[in-house]
Amino acid sequence: MPALKPLKPVFLEPPSPISQPSSLSSDPAMPTPKAAREVGYSTAALRKWRREGKGPPFIRYGRSVRYRLSDLRAWQETHVVNPACESGDQR
């Protein structure tokens, strides 16, 4: 029987963690009921807007829908009305 050669140790580098954009880790996604409370609308309104392609941006994970707080805030900012600039409201 031939002599066996000693095996060389093989050092594998540890797998690198999957890097996620910092916005995802610092801005967790919330379910529709919590998002509805954040923006002051009903869950039915958010569902209707999703179907119509309106409302705040959302994330879909299969059948699950989530909203990021930053997206909700940005969407709200697009709906701010300055009364001084509102046209046709002269009394």
Strand partners, 64: 61
Rounded distance, CA 71 to CA 78, Å? 11
Rounded distance, CA 73 to CA 38, Å? 9
Q: Please state the pTM of the whole predicted model.
A: 0.63
> pLDDT grade, residue 4 (50/70/90)?
confident
Domain ranges (residues) in the chain: 28-77
Is the separation of the CB atoms in 54 and 36 below 8 Å? no
Sign of the CA dihedral with 37 first, then 40, 44, and 50 last:
negative
Q: Token pair of 66, please?
A: 């989530």
Which tens digit of pLDDT belongs to each residue from 44-80? Answer: 999 999 999 999 999 998 999 999 999 999 999 998 8
